[in-house]
Homo-oligomer: A and B are copies of this chain.
Amino acid sequence: MPRTKGDHEARRRDVSEAVWQVMATRGFAGLTLRAVAAELGATTGLLTHYFPTKNALVAYALDLLEQRTISRPRRHTGEGLAALRDALLDILPLTPEAIDSNRIWVSSWDAALSDPALSTDYARKYAQSRNGLSERVAAAQKLGELPPGDPAHIAAGAQFFVLGLVVQALFDPAAFPPQRQVELLDDYLATLTARTDPTTITRDDPGGGL
């Protein structure tokens, strides 16, 4: 029987799923044609049809990671602070799928930091993500849900907090189960809500630094 376009598409989906599973289990360091072939129950020879080189496999994996991140379902529970909370919850490893994709993102940092072009691309993506958060911060301020302050500054802090929580939750899922992650995030947001303008704070400057 001749192969149909449907066969081809189905096979592509199987290959994508196998690449994803290898990355979720072994990270980028463990992403090899051999590992993907084993996951797929295929020969390494078949895989070279899709990925002639290791670099082609890595490029495909990075593209798959971005596509799955872009197309993942997002929360939409409200405006302002609720929308900010939604965006931050969307990042956290609260479900098996989100655990896998976060684990793959964190794993990809090694490859990205070693490659100047990729590193620039990651920097651009994270800046874009901060811009999105910043818009939500500004909207929350307009609604009076957050006190005044530079939205970009507040958005950066929220991004740092969530990324650090992601890393810790991946290393220690027992200490940071989903409910605990949400509690920690909500406490962080409560801190933002309660903050006074830092320029008005007089505190003992410890005078340390660089």
Chain B: minimal CB distance from A192 (Å): 7
Q: Within 8 Å of chain B (Cβ to Cβ): is A30?
A: yes
Give Cα distance in the complex from A25 to B123, angstroms.
18
Interface centre among A153, A171, A175, by most B CB within 10 Å?
A171
Within 8 A of B (CB), among A96-136: 103, 106-107, 109-114, 119, 122-123, 126-127
Q: Are B172 and A25 in contact (CB under 8 A)?
A: no
From A86, A107, A160, A168, residue with most partner B Cβ within 10 Å? A160
Query: Which label, helix, strand, loop or mixed, suits the secondary structure of the A interface?
Result: helix
- A156 contacts chain B at the CB level, 8 A cutoff: yes
Residue of B nearest to A92 (CB): B210
Interface members, chain A 156-175 (any B CB < 8 Å): 156-157, 159-165, 167-168, 170-172, 175
Please tell me which one of the listed residues B106, B184, B192, B193 contacts residue A156 in the complex, with CB atoms under 8 A apart.
B184
A188-205 vs B, Cβ < 8 Å mask (1 yes, 0 no)? 101111111010010110
What is the size, in residues, of chain A's interface with B at 8 Å between Cβ atoms?
A: 69
CB proximity of A109 to chain B, nearest CB, Å: 5
Residue from B159, B184, B192 within 8 A of A153 (CB atoms): B184
Q: Are A198 and B204 in contact (CB under 8 A)?
A: no
User: Which residues of the other chain, B, contact A122 by a CB distance below 8 angstroms?
Assistant: 171
Residues of B within 8 A of A168 (CB): 126, 156, 159-160, 163
A sample of 7 inter-chain contacts (CB < 8 A) reads A94-B210, A109-B110, A122-B171, A123-B175, A126-B172, A178-B210, A179-B210
